[in-house]
Amino acid sequence: MSLLDRLTALLGPAHVLTGRDCAPYVSEWTGKYHWEPLAVLRPANRDEVAAVLRLASETGTPVVPVGGRTGLVGGTEAQGRLMLSLERMNRIREIRPEARIAIVEPGVILSRLHEAAADRGLYFPLWFGARGSAMIGGVLSTNAGGSNVLRYGSTRALCLGLEVVLADGRVLNLMSELHKDNSGYDLKDLFIGAEGTLGVITAAVMRLVPAPRAHATAMLAMPSLDAALALLNRLQAATGGLVEAFEFMPRSYQALLVARRPDLGLAFDRIYDVTILVELGATAPRDCSPGPDGTLPLAALLEETLGAMMEEGLVTDAVIAASEAQRQALWARREAAAEVGTPVSGPSVDTDICVPLDKVATFLTQAEARVAALDPGAFPHCVAHLGDGNIHFTVFPTRDDPALEGAMVRAVEDTVQDLGGSFSAEHGVGLSKRGSMARRKDPVALDLMRGLKQAFDPGNILNPGKVLP
């Protein structure tokens, strides 16, 4: 029997896709990467995943695990390889409100988990624009971030346990529901952010938190990023850490928003250099119960803090959402970032970096200067999760020149390295950042990573060519 015949016998003909049936799987969201897979496999459970990997290991056939295919760095490129789609493994097996955990399969779409948790008065606090298509396996494999990292942490912080199928088909049971477990090396964390290069995640135990009973949301104009950082720290102190999101949308982003999504409008009647979207979330009745005048204490606290900072000249203007519709309108302007930051035509240089919070302004000044020195007509813009120092810094060069684009990436990397930051914050490494890994990652760390890859996947069949240079 041929390899495809054996796979068909394992999974059934409807779940071994070839030729034109692979069309939905042959490119990434950005459109930068295209490929022709050997086949797309759609297993229904862990045992089928294990059988596929045993066969792949036996035949030396590369396998690329995929989820919702919303990646941005070429992590699912699969030319001539088997694509292992986990989309059929999409059960929310259990939600346990008392323990505040959800036991889920990798094909669960993020928004489905949001809805299921909300039905129990709980919240899965991982939130970003692609939540309607991104899957749990993918967000674990990339250690995805988003707007709420400031308060709740990235995906790694939200995972208690995993089930993983290794390259040789063995099943590693790390499905712990514990918050404390010091029984040796923490293997679970090796698979989170590994982009499918060490094993295939087939189940997970995810943390849930109480659903916020009230939000206070505002769009602010501020004189500087230093003033924004002062506001963040003041709000954290005043609320006891209730700031859920603190998003930065500078003048360049607002200008693109007006040009590309005029239907969303702007919060103010002019474009400011520094615009911040801030959101507080609370569960305590003292913060969520309206007063005699109908005002929420949480909103009153936000308004009071902003008023004091306006008097000090640290806030220039503010719009506070007075309804859920207004809150959604404010967020719509931020969540249009993927559309706003994608060029209509021509080249772009996309980076996803992180620097210490007090160095964000320095990064932007230095990176923009270095880019301008390479291409005076280039248009740089960014949008940032300012509360955790994660900046999506994009440049539209004046010409399509791979050498120029490479020089711009290195210029951004130089700036990040000078400031003690990371060239990769939340999108992963995939193919796009392997050069950055070679240039910037500590050589000893790379040696250890290669050793781990060899130990977990000696045949190099799991997503080969990704992450490691």
CATH assignment of the domain containing 278: 3.30.70.2190
At 114, is the pLDDT very low, low, confident or very high (cuts 50, 70, 90)?
very high
Mean pLDDT, residues 257-284: 95
Q: What is the Cα–Cα distance from 256 to 387, expressed in whole angstroms? A: 23
Residues 317 and 368 in one domain: no
Assigned domain for 454 exists: no
At 123, is the pLDDT very low, low, confident or very high (cuts 50, 70, 90)?
very high
Assigned domain for 68 exists: yes
Residues 250 and 171 in one domain: no
Mean pLDDT, residues 174-190: 96
What pLDDT, on the 0 to 100 scale, is given for residue 147? 94
Mean pLDDT, residues 7-29: 95
* Alpha carbon distances (Å) from 74 to 64, 165, 384, 422: 11, 22, 22, 19
- Computed over every residue of the chain, the mean pLDDT equals 96
* 63-66 sheet: strands from edge to edge: 16-17, 39-41, 82-85, 63-66
Residues 127 and 139 in one domain: yes
Residues 420 and 388 in one domain: yes
Q: Both tokens of residue 218?
A: 């505002």
Asked if pLDDT for residue 229 goes beyond 80, the answer is yes
Residues 329-369: tens digit of each pLDDT:
999 999 999 888 887 778 999 999 999 999 999 999 999 99
Which amino acid makes up residue 223? Answer: P
Sign of CA dihedral 99, 105, 107, 112: negative
Nearest to 212 by CA among 277, 296, 291, 95: 296
Q: Both tokens of residue 57?
A: 């290991």
Residues 73 and 96 in one domain: no
Nearest to 63 by CA among 3, 103, 131: 3
Q: What percent of the chain has pLDDT over 90?
A: 93
What pLDDT, on the 0 to 100 scale, is given for residue 72? 87
Assigned domain for 460 exists: no
Measured in residues, the chain has a length of 469
**221: domain range?**
214-338
Given 61, 85, 109, the domain boundary residue is 85
As for how many domains the chain has, the answer is: 4
Q: What is the Cα–Cα distance from 256 to 395, expressed in whole angstroms? A: 13
CATH of the domain at 112: 3.30.465.10
Q: What is the Cα–Cα distance from 112 to 118, expressed in whole angstroms? A: 10
What pLDDT, on the 0 to 100 scale, is given for residue 61? 98
Asked if pLDDT for residue 206 goes beyond 80, the answer is yes
CATH of the domain at 440: 3.30.70.2740
Residues 384 and 417 in one domain: yes
Nearest to 354 by CA among 273, 293, 419: 419
Q: What percent of the chain has pLDDT over 70?
A: 100
Given 210, 235, 264, the domain boundary residue is 210
Residues 186 and 220 in one domain: no
* 171-174 sheet: strands from edge to edge: 92-96, 101-104, 200-207, 159-165, 171-174
Beta-strand pair 63-66/82-85: parallel
Asked if pLDDT for residue 417 goes beyond 90, the answer is yes
Assigned domain for 463 exists: no
Q: What is the Cα–Cα distance from 162 to 140, expressed in whole angstroms? A: 10
What are the residues whose beta carbons fall under 8 Å from the beta carbon of 35, sequence distance 6 or more? 26, 27, 77, 78, 79, 80
Eight-state DSSP code of residue 129: G
Mean pLDDT, residues 428-432: 95
What pLDDT, on the 0 to 100 scale, is given for residue 1? 82
- Cβ atoms of residues 428 and 147 within 8 Å: no
What pLDDT, on the 0 to 100 scale, is given for residue 285? 92
At 401, is the pLDDT very low, low, confident or very high (cuts 50, 70, 90)?
very high
CB atoms within 10 A of CB 245: 24
* Alpha carbon distances (Å) from 390 to 114, 237, 424: 24, 22, 9
Mean pLDDT, residues 20-27: 95
Q: What is the Cα–Cα distance from 394 to 407, expressed in whole angstroms? A: 14
CATH of the domain at 11: 3.30.43.10
Residues 78 and 112 in one domain: no
Eight-state DSSP code of residue 359: G
Given 313, 338, 363, the domain boundary residue is 338
**pLDDT top residue among 208 and 68:** 208
Residues 77 and 102 in one domain: no
Q: Both tokens of residue 428?
A: 């992963």
Q: What is the Cα–Cα distance from 163 to 205, expressed in whole angstroms? A: 9
Helix or strand run (H / E) with residue 140: helix 136-142
Helix or strand run (H / E) with residue 455: helix 443-456
Assigned domain for 459 exists: no
Which pTM value belongs to this model?
A: 0.94
Mean pLDDT, residues 411-432: 96
Residue written as token pair 């120029």: 404
Nearest to 321 by CA among 307, 336, 303: 303
Assigned domain for 387 exists: yes
Residues 61 and 119 in one domain: no
What pLDDT, on the 0 to 100 scale, is given for residue 451? 98
Task: Tell me the sheet residues that pair with 317.
Answer: 221
What pLDDT, on the 0 to 100 scale, is given for residue 343? 75
Eight-state DSSP code of residue 301: H
Residues 112 and 170 in one domain: yes
Residues 329 and 259 in one domain: yes
Assigned domain for 290 exists: yes
At 293, is the pLDDT very low, low, confident or very high (cuts 50, 70, 90)?
confident
Residues 36-72: tens digit of each pLDDT:
999 999 999 999 999 999 999 999 999 999 999 889 8
Assigned domain for 469 exists: no
CB atoms within 10 A of CB 375: 20
